[in-house]
A and B are shown apart, each in its own frame.
Chain A
Amino acid sequence: MKVSYNWLQEYFEEKLPTPEELGELLTFHAYEVEEIEKVDSDYALDIDVLPNRSSDSMSHRGIAREVATLLGRKMKYDPLLGETLEVEESEKFKVEVEDKRLCSRYAIAVIEGVKVGPSPDWLKSALEVLGQRSINNIVDATNYVMLNTGQPLHAFDANKLEGKEKKIVIRNAKKNEKITTLTEDEYELDSGTLLIVDGNADTGIGIAGVKGGNIAEVDKNTKDIAIESAHFDFASVRKTAQKLKLWTEASTRFQNNPSQHLVGYALADVVELILDLAGGEVEGAVDVCIPEKDKEPVSVTLSQINNLLGTSLSQKNVAGIFDRFDFEYEAKDDVFTVTPPFERTDINIYEDLIEEIGRVHGYEHLEARQLPESNTAPYIHKEFSYADKVRNILVGAGYSEVLGYTFRAHGDYEVISGAASDKTFLRIGLSCGIGKYLESNSKMAPLFGLERVKLFELGRVFPKSGEYVALAIGVSGKKTDKILDETKKVLERELGIKIPENSKEGILEINFSKLLEKLPEAKNYEGFEQNLTPYKDFSLYPFVLRDTAVWIPSSVDEKEILNVIEEHGGKLLINKTKFDEFEKGGKMSYAYHLVFQSNERTLTDDEVNKIMGDITLKLNAKKGFEVR
């Protein structure tokens, strides 16, 4: 949410700290200021209000109240301590709320004879700083008061409603009922959507708490208006916004359940502003309301505060912090009984008060304290101990570990939505994944200097019979069963247990959970070495594989070949692996795979041929060397 620095300043006599200082203050004591942008002679602060504070802080008043607390200053004025609207009951409008659980308060004020026109400059620029467009003085006034108090408001053109005696009905939409919004987008609704309806015509004029309809839009010819200030059920608004994928300034505020009390204060403010900007006279108002319960006082003791925070605050410290909040409270001995103001719907238990004390006092004052020595030794987790052991055994036998995706094309359990459309099932085994990873890595085997790829995965699988941990071991290439059989024997020997499963097509999959049942309790975890090697991005371009074989005199070290290869292979030679060596008639033959790859482009044959030619030439130039 964006707030204007100059707008906040209007709440205070004294000059505020700089925008950066204010941003820091809020970030470390209330909620994060993510960005500060200079806009003309003002600054827009982008604030990520926390979910529990979104009921009271989605407004300039809310942020100003927080700033007042954090700075220990008084606010110059407070719109929530002002007057609510005191006018006659409207004779021209009736309001009917069908389900008061979904709309516990619906108020309108009717103003006749307004003059719609452009807004004054101060109002235009106040909106523009926040990235909002000025529309006309009426609409701007409703937006301004919403941004100031946090209460969404909406203005209807009264004369666009049917009948002499106007009737506004708040009811659930009928199935397939349609509405076109102010921005000319048509929505098809269902019975879960709360609709504001012109009762005489039975047509929708607004999606409750979300957006107004185009039927009763205020335009340049509008004379008489009805301004809505209401309280809708937060869950209902959220569900509607989500279903319609229509998130608005109004819906984001309503869905965080602001206090119902805002309705009256905001309506009084917007009427005053409209009379000032557009003239006209108040005809009357309607206020249909099931009042919300008064907030219950919450008690907290000094020791509860210090015991949870770890602080050693005094009674005076705590009283001082509650004073900064301007909370109404009684302090008796070490017990504080606080009645939170109505807009702080988030304060309900004593831990909520402790959080308020903690953050205003400042988390930076907390020591980093170690837990006391534990009386009981931590236990050894059997599954993890054996899983780690198995990993070590397999890594020792040349296998690398992969962690694959749970989502697969087939399975017993399927997700309702999300995931890739062709992989909506939970895996029932690991073989399918291992098979795929063997295939993709085999194509790159020369990069790793490997003749064949050896992989394993340990992870949870989800068959109908229930979740368990599986272990799959896979090998690429030929004669895989023989290799896997040897690996299985190693595992059986190390674990001292028979493994019932057999390999199939290069993969051995084991029910690890079941195997575990037969193993004794674990006594410890195996050791390890901390690995701090930085990661290097690998090239996404294809590599080129070439072989070379060289005769050299038996008396010469193999290193001399490698030196030539490295020197002339240059930066593009990223891997070399010896795959053959033998002696014959006083000469040695060595053969190597050479892998070339660039980080920036696909290498051409010509390029690699040239390097290979160079290497051959230089090798042949050495005495007794001969490239085969």
Chain B
Amino acid sequence: MNEEKGHKHPISQAIRELTDIFQEMGFSLADGPEMTNDYDNFEVLNFGEDHPARDMQDTFWLKPEGSQMLLRTQTSTVQVPYMLENKPPIRIFVPGKVYRNEATDSTHEMQFYQVEGLAVDKGITLEHLKGTLLTLLQRFFNDENIEVRFRPGYFPFVEPGVELDMKYKGKWIELLGAGMVHPNVLRNGGIDPKKYSGFAFGMGIDRIIMIRHNSNDVRKHYDGDLRFVNQF
């Protein structure tokens, strides 16, 4: 009985699936540290000095106070360091763990997984973003009937910024934030925004698992309970 196979965590399964989908679209996997600082997590991503996200409430800041160290709040933290080390064309995806200092409930966790997508090249447009996301979702959900639509959205590191809704099994679901990489972010990455443009998006991996498998509590992803894991 112990010779029976075990189970890979659904997050790991999803990341493995996403890796194939992204690779086929020419994206390479990249990563970065979870423990970082104010500069990499906020400053270079165009969060103004007084941006509310820099306040205590959303971010896990680390002691000693004033050290500016924190747990990354988004996988976007990988964008600028990657740009500084690699010239365009850039196509990367970054699956990883992120942290938010907020009350937990069935749809909110202090830690969860995101996958970032970033493409920088000459002539990248908002239409490429739409096409890339549509393919990604149709593949992951194994459903060619999926539709996507944009709504205006706001994130400091993109301009224009959009929210993406997905029509899945006949219902529209708010899914993720995205947009065209803000010129300040490109400049911080040593890339001339007059020559290059790019898109970026961040999608919750926990969320797409919950939608696809119809599960209802994100906290179950992290409490080490085989009653959850062994179903995958």
Contact = CB atoms under 8 A, between A and B. Distances in A.
Do A and B belong to a common assembly? Answer: yes
A395 B23 CA distance: 24
Contact of A525 (B19, B142, B162, B227): B19
Interface stretch (A15-23, A78-86, A331-339, A401-409): A401-409
Contacts of A528: 13, 16-17, 20
Contacts of B17: 528, 530
Contact of A533 (B150, B183, B232): B232
Contacts of A344: none
B63 A30 contact: no
Interface string B35-64: 100000000000001101001110011110
Interface of B is mostly: mixed
B82 interface: no
A309 B8 contact: no
Contact of A351 (B99, B183, B222): B183
Interface residues of A, number: 102
B130 A369 contact: yes
B1 A378 contact: no
Contact of A391 (B12, B50, B102, B132): B12
A371 B231 contact: no
A281 to B, nearest CB: 41
Contacts of B65: 416
A310 B127 contact: yes
A205 to B, nearest CB: 27
B35 A413 contact: yes
B162 to A, nearest CB: 7
B232 A531 contact: yes
Interface string A448-474: 111111110001101000010000000
A30 B161 CA distance: 11
Contacts of B163: 32
A444 interface: yes
Interface in A391-417: 391-392, 394-407, 413-417
B149 interface: yes
Nearest to A256: B52
Contact of A363 (B25, B131, B162): B162
Interface string A343-384: 000000101101100110001101111110111111101011
Interface in A19-77: 27-32, 50-53
Contact of A371 (B33, B57, B119): B119
A144 B150 CA distance: 34
A596 B225 CA distance: 19
Given A310-B126, A384-B19, A416 B7 contact: no
B96 to A, nearest CB: 9
A329 interface: no
Interface stretch (A94-102, A265-273, A435-443, A547-555): A435-443
A452 B226 CA distance: 12
B25 A397 contact: no
Interface in A410-428: 413-419, 426
Given A308-B197, A467-B35, A368 B224 contact: no
Nearest to A454: B6
A381 B31 CA distance: 9
Nearest to A477: B2
B85 interface: no
Interface stretch (A177-185, A291-299, A534-542): A534-542
Given A29-B152, A349-B183, A403 B50 contact: no
A530 B209 CA distance: 12
Interface in A502-551: 525, 528, 530-538
B229 A400 contact: yes
Contacts of B71: 406, 415, 426
A423 B213 CA distance: 31
B148 interface: yes
A417 B101 contact: yes
A242 interface: yes
Contact of B222 (A31, A392, A405, A460): A405
A143 B125 CA distance: 44
Given A50-B152, A392-B8, 7 more contacts: A234-B50, A371-B26, A374-B26, A391-B12, A403-B11, A426-B62, A462-B35
29 contacts: A51-B52, A310-B125, A311-B127, A351-B159, A358-B126, A366-B127, A368-B148, A369-B125, A370-B131, A370-B135, A374-B89, A388-B16, A391-B12, A400-B7, A402-B226, A402-B229, A403-B11, A403-B224, A407-B111, A413-B69, A415-B60, A416-B60, A418-B56, A450-B1, A452-B2, A459-B97, A528-B20, A532-B212, A532-B213
Interface of B: 1-13, 15-17, 19-20, 22-23, 25-31, 33-35, 49-50, 52, 55-57, 60-63, 65, 69, 71, 89, 91, 97, 99, 101-102, 110-111, 119, 123-128, 130-135, 142, 148-154, 159-163, 180, 182-183, 197, 212-216, 221-222, 224-232
Of all A-B residue pairs in the complex, the 3 with the closest CB atoms, nearest first, are A374-B26, A310-B127, A310-B125
